[in-house]
Structure 1
Amino acid sequence: MSTINSASTLYYNSTPVRVVSIDGRPWFIAADVFKCLGVVNTTTAVKSLRHDEVRLTEVLAQRPMQALSEKGLRKKLMRSTKPEAHALLDWALHEAIPAHREAATTEEQAKRDTVQRLAARVAELEQRLSTLAVLAKGVPHPIQAALRTQ
Structure 2
Amino acid sequence: MSGLANFAFEEHLVRVVERDGEPWFAGKDVCRCLEIEKHHQALDSLDGDERGTCTVGTPSGHQTMVVISEPGVYRLVFRSRKPAAERFKRWLAHEVIPAIRRTGRYETTPAAIVDTEAPLMAKVAAVRLALRLFGRDNARALWHRLELPAMDAPASDAEAGARNAAACLDHLLAARIEDGLTIRAAIGAGVPERDALFSAGLGIVGPRTREEGFQLFVPNQHPALSRHFSGTPWADGRWNAALAGGRFAWTRRTMRIPGGSKRGIGIDLAAIAET
TM over 0.5: yes
Code of the residue aligned with 2:53 in structure 1: it is L
Query: Aligned equivalents of 1:94 and 1:62: distance in 2?
Result: 32
| Number of the residue aligned with 1:103 | 108
Offset, 1:15:
1.1
Query: Aligned equivalents of 2:55 and 2:93: distance in 1?
Result: 23
| Number of the residue aligned with 1:8 | 5
Within the alignment, does 1:50 sit opposite 2:47 as a pair?
A: yes
Classify the secondary structure of the residue corresponding to 2:44: coil
Offset, 1:44:
0.7
Structure 1 unaligned segments of length 5 or more: list them.
Answer: 105-150
Task: Tell whether the 8 Å contact from 2:24 to 2:68 is kept in structure 1 after alignment.
Answer: yes
Query: Aligned equivalents of 2:72 and 2:92: distance in 1?
Result: 12
Deviation track 1:43-64 (CA, whole Å, cap 9, x = no partner) reads 1111221011111111226321
Code of the residue aligned with 1:17 in structure 2: it is V
**Higher RCO (CA 8 Å, separation ≥ 6 residues):** 1
Task: Tell whether the 8 Å contact from 2:34 to 2:80 is kept in structure 1 after alignment.
Answer: no
Alignment of 1:124-143 (within 5 A): none
Code of the residue aligned with 1:11 in structure 2: it is A
| Number of the residue aligned with 2:26 | 29
Query: Aligned equivalents of 1:96 and 1:64: distance in 2?
Result: 23
Q: When the two structures are superposed, what TM-score results if normalisation uses the length of structure 1?
A: 0.60
Task: Tell whether the 8 Å contact from 2:34 to 2:77 is kept in structure 1 after alignment.
Answer: no
Q: Percent same amino acid among aligned pairs?
A: 33
Alignment of 1:40-119 (within 5 A): 40-60=37-57, 62-97=62-97, 98=99, 101-103=106-108
Offset, 1:84:
1.0
Query: Aligned equivalents of 1:6 and 1:102: distance in 2?
Result: 12
Q: Comparing 78-87 with 93-102, which one deviates more in the overlay?
A: 93-102
Query: Aligned equivalents of 1:55 and 1:41: distance in 2?
Result: 18
Offset, 1:88:
0.3
Offset, 1:12:
0.5
Structure 2 unaligned segments of length 5 or more: list them.
Answer: 110-275
Offset, 1:14:
2.3
Query: Aligned equivalents of 1:69 and 1:59: distance in 2?
Result: 17
Q: Comparing 73-82 with 39-48, which one deviates more in the overlay?
A: 39-48
Classify the secondary structure of the residue corresponding to 1:103: coil
Query: Aligned equivalents of 2:14 and 2:51: distance in 1?
Result: 16
Code of the residue aligned with 2:40 in structure 1: it is T
| Number of the residue aligned with 1:128 | none
- Runs of 4+ more than 6 Å apart: none
Task: Count residues with an aligned counterpart.
Answer: 101
Offset, 1:26:
0.3
Q: When the two structures are superposed, what TM-score results if normalisation uses the length of structure 2?
A: 0.34
Code of the residue aligned with 2:77 in structure 1: it is L
Task: Tell whether the 8 Å contact from 2:26 to 2:67 is kept in structure 1 after alignment.
Answer: yes
Query: Aligned equivalents of 1:43 and 1:11: distance in 2?
Result: 22
Query: Aligned equivalents of 1:38 and 1:84: distance in 2?
Result: 7
Deviation track 1:31-90 (CA, whole Å, cap 9, x = no partner) reads 111111222332111122101111111122632111110010011101212221021011
